[in-house]
Amino acid sequence: MKVVNMQPNDLRSSQVNRAATGINFGIGQPGFDLLPLEMLKRSADARFAQGDTEFLNYGFEQGDGYFRDALATFLSAEYATPVAPEQLMITAGASQALALICTLFTAPGDTIFVEEPSYFLALRILREDFGLNAVPIPSDEDGLRLDALEDALSRHRPKFVYTIPAFQNPTGRTLSSKRREELVALSRRHNFLVVADEVYQLLQYGAAPPSPLASYAEWETVLSIGSFSKILAPGLRLGWIQAAPPLVQRFVGCGLVDSGGGLNHFTSNVVRPALENGWQSSYLAGLRETYRGRIAAMEHGLQRHLAGVATWRTPDGGYFFWLEMEQGIDTAALLPAARAAGVEFLPGVRCSSVGGLGNCLRLSFAHFGKAEIAEGVARLGPVLQAASNR
């Protein structure tokens, strides 16, 4: 494996120098051992064997029709709710989808609402790349607090609410069915969009979460973002937006798509046989089983080394454990000691739009196997215990 030099906070590098970084629970991506090389090779071979060159040319702006058919069939089964091909706009991953939404539906200085806490790199896109005024809305165990949202609506007119409704990054919380309905109703009443980052919707390890916000797409206020990064491979940079056809046409008609002839046309063709032949579904089932084991390993380690030091809830899906320590502890200040012990994490302050949550931290169980998870938590325990005892 090629070794690259990493800055301490470079949590998204595609290559990880483990000798230098130890066990980095800040990495929110699958481990290299989970990436389905042979399955994707089989899928690519199947597409190339068809013998045509259509997928080597510019593609249809909305995305290849055969691929959207296959994706709609896959999502309809996994979501247990109908998805139509005309609702799907193919993108080059979830981050590009979010950037495209900001490009088409906002202007610098516009107000949007974000969950507190939220995905730290999405906050960067929203605030730094597009100059949006991100107003935080608190969340609790049932997700985004609708009472706080209604209160904020009395003072602001947001262009959209950015939410991660299923197994949220970083907290692992899931927005309840009742709140989903209320959120969509509020969006219609107050004329704002709901940008639902639903990349973890299919990563459930117990009972399925409520129907995705994508199932409300017909009301024309919901833009649901999906991605193969969490369910197949991040390097594909392949995702989608699901929305009502009139909203989809906003994307189809934009200059970027018109000029480029569709987004990630080649990769979508490579992935299509994996959907059509059921290989993606089988891989996803195995991925869920693997992550169940990794959650159990992290839960066991936390109970052994951090019971009474931090509080957490065992996630039902997604990638993350969210730990809260007593007020006054600065987890960012603990990183040097953690690194010296051969372990890292994401400080909670990185997930706050207002510089709060300093006593929290996020741990990902996705990147490492069970033995490494056990070892990493064992290294982390003394660091957090020492901070708690001061």
- DSSP three-state, residue 229: coil
Q: Does the fold of domain 40-280 match that of domain 18-30+285-389?
A: no
CA distance to 118, 121, 266, 289, per residue, from 207 (Å): 23, 28, 35, 13
**Among the CATH numbers 3.40.640.10, 3.40.50.410, 3.30.465.10, 3.40.50.1000, which is that of 40-280?**
3.40.640.10
Q: What percent of the chain has pLDDT over 90?
A: 92
Q: What is the pLDDT of residue 388?
A: 86
Kindly report the number of other CB atoms within 10 A of residue 32's CB atom: 12
The residues, any chain, with a CB within 8 Å of residue 207's CB and separated by 6 or more, are 316
Domain boundaries, the chain: 18-30+285-389, 40-280
Q: What is the mean pLDDT of residues 61-89?
A: 97
pTM for the structure as a whole: 0.92
CATH superfamily of 18-30+285-389: Aspartate Aminotransferase, domain 1 (3.90.1150.10)
Structure confidence by residue, pLDDT tens digits, 242-296: 999 999 999 999 998 888 888 999 999 999 999 999 999 999 999 999 999 999 9
16 pLDDT tier (thresholds 50, 70, 90)? very low
- Cα–Cα dist 286/278, whole Å: 13
Q: At what angle do helices 265-276 and 65-79 cross, to 10 degrees?
A: 50
